[in-house]
Amino acid sequence: MDKNQIIGLVAISAIIIGYMIWTQPSKEEIAEMRRNDSLEMVKQKREQDSLFLVNEKWKQDSINKSKLIDTLVFTEDTIVSDSLQDQELVKLYGDFANASLGDEEFITLKNDKVEIKISTKGGRVYSANLLNYKTHNQTDLVLFDGDQNKFNLDFLAQNNLISTQNFYFEPQSEKKVLNASTETQTLNMRLKADNRRYIEYSYSLSPGSYILDFDINFVNTEDLVFAGTTFIDLTWNSYIPHLEHGEKFELQNTNLFYQLFGNDVNKLKVKKQLSEEEITTKVKWIGYKQQFFSSVLIAKSSFNEVTISQQNTGEEDTLNLKYMTSKISLPYKHGAKKVSIPLAFYFGPNKYSDLRKISLSEGDNLKMHKLVPLGWGIFGWVNRLAIIPLFNFLGTFISSYGIIILVMTIFIKTVLFPLTYRSFLSSAKMRVLKPEIEKINEKISKDKAMERQQATMALYKKAGVNPMGGCIPIALQFPILIAMFHFFPASIELRQQSFLWATDLSSYDSIYSWTTHIPFISQYYGNHISLFTLLMALAIVGSTVLNGNQMQDNNPQAKTMKYMMYFMPVMMIFWFNNYSAGLSFYYLLSNLITIIQTLIMRKFVNEDKLFSKLQANVSKNKKKDGKKSNFQKKLEDMAKQRGYTPPKKNTKNNKKKF
């Protein structure tokens, strides 16, 4: 940068700074703008903060009032105080003032699968207990409980902001427990302005179902709800508890999902701190998904607009993994005698076969099975069309899931054996040709790489060897390996199923653990040792050693590949130590069977006979030397572009070669 450029930059900077100072508002102007912004903010928030504070004050006053009634003489002053308080409540809540005071009670809806507790305060679902499952500590599996779950409607009633979480609903049933084990049970909860005007939450549970039907009804509220209202704000916030054995892996598989109306299922993109997304198109359902269980809110029509977020709770919270929130716009038709908003909850397991069947109406394609992460593209297809049907079929007559994995592995390896044999045979051909390839490399110097490659490919063609013949069969098996990587950690059938020393095939097995934090080791390996992972790594090493000599060491790429193959088991130990024991067990069995198959094939494939066959192929194809393969033509074209001219053939001095 020269002197003139420096002077120019300094001058421009001085002008910008001077302009900013000159146009800066005075203190009085700043104060005025702040006052205007504050007023606008208060209007936008609909005086929510101030109303909340006043509400909390009067709730405390209500408590104090009860204490006074118990301890003091009832006097005329007390009556006057109550009257003033009632007037203030009317100012705050209008016709809903009487519902702002009350005592919290609980009504339970239950069947043979789920027990759902409803609170009169806010009329919300207070807890959801899945009866056929336990946590890793063998306690009741409760998806949320108490203040872990918040469910609230916000709207303007006359000139008052109404938040349903602050009001008491009246149950329209005298029973405290409604048993839906044999027939459907319905619980109606009403937030009353009076007997004619109310907001009703209607809950219905059927036998053998994880679906809780939930209808929101506004009855005769046309003179209560603000005239310009076209939507009602629904807020659903929930802490996601720690339920499984492997907390780190459980955290990775806990996320917020949603389905766009008529489209596929998406999940909220995870960021380090707060993940948030505003969805302006219609949404069919929102799911708070854990590793094996989910809480899902479903619209029987659609949600207009949705804002979703999630964040990790941090290490200091040992009970919960994440905090998820949803702010939803529900369509509202003002002026109608009754406005119904039909919804439903799903509180249940992420079982693929069950989620696939869920439909609330004819032709309804909820695609809730997408909550089970089976992999994208071809890997998901392999799981859906092959692995899951096979796994479920074996489960009908085999009770041990360890044995199911063993039988399934043997079956898959047997089906894939023709591909494995072709790969082995191709590698054997390359191995017997290795001395001839070395002769070519000795004859042609390194600086003539293209000529070397052409000579090598010519030899392969004469011998009838496809250098890619060993890779293609392996590539065809690759989708199954990746499909299994997704299948085992997502399979709820393996949850808390023991086999040998593993107590839970869906989580890691441990033969030794410790609590002391060890830098790097604790972070990337964990505070335990998984025996299935160690055995899997040893099996991979054995398979690598057994097949290592088949690679051509004179090829630099082959040498690099061999080093990678020996380094891979070390990486697998770190990677799989926290993964599903069922997955490590499958890869262990797969590698052991591969070793056995390799030893058997080596006994049946005679390399001397194979060498003789390749010699015969060379002799037979010598007459076709004038014909070039497409690959050879491409090599020659590339050589010509680089200025290389192939040597002319010397027909007089041709000697017999391999």
- DSSP symbols for 427-457: HHHHHHTHHHHHHHHHHS-TT-HHHHHHHHH
Q: Where in the chain is the domain with CATH 2.70.98.90?
A: 105-372
Give, for 591, the enclosing helix (H) or strand (E). Answer: helix 581-604
Please tell me the predicted confidence (pLDDT) of residue 101: 87
Whole-model pTM over 0.85 = no
Please tell me the predicted confidence (pLDDT) of residue 618: 58
Name 477's Cβ contacts closer than 8 Å, sequence gap at least 6: 416, 419, 420
Name 485's Cβ contacts closer than 8 Å, sequence gap at least 6: 375, 583
**391-425 b/e with 16+ CB inside 10 Å = b?**
beebeeeeeebbebbbebbeebbeebeeebbbbbb
Please tell me the predicted confidence (pLDDT) of residue 49: 42
CA atoms within 13 A on the CB side of 277: 17
227-277 pLDDT per residue, tens: 888 888 999 999 999 998 878 888 888 999 999 987 788 998 887 778 889
- Residue 441 CA to residue 26 CA, distance in Å, equals 83
* C-alpha angle 562-564-567 in degrees, rounded to nearest 5: 115
Please tell me the predicted confidence (pLDDT) of residue 455: 72
- C-alpha 55 chain-centroid distance: 40
DSSP state of 288: E
**124-142 b/e with 16+ CB inside 10 Å = b?**
bbbbbbbeebeebeeeebb
Greatest Cα pair distance, the chain, in angstroms, is 132
- Residue 479 CA to residue 180 CA, distance in Å, equals 44
Please tell me the predicted confidence (pLDDT) of residue 251: 87
Low-confidence ranges of the chain (pLDDT < 70): 1-87, 430, 432-434, 437, 445-446, 448-449, 451-452, 456, 458-474, 548-563, 606-658
Under a CB-based contact definition with an 8 Å cutoff, are residues 585 and 402 in contact?
yes
Please tell me the predicted confidence (pLDDT) of residue 87: 67
CATH class of 105-372: mainly beta
Name 247's Cβ contacts closer than 8 Å, sequence gap at least 6: 321
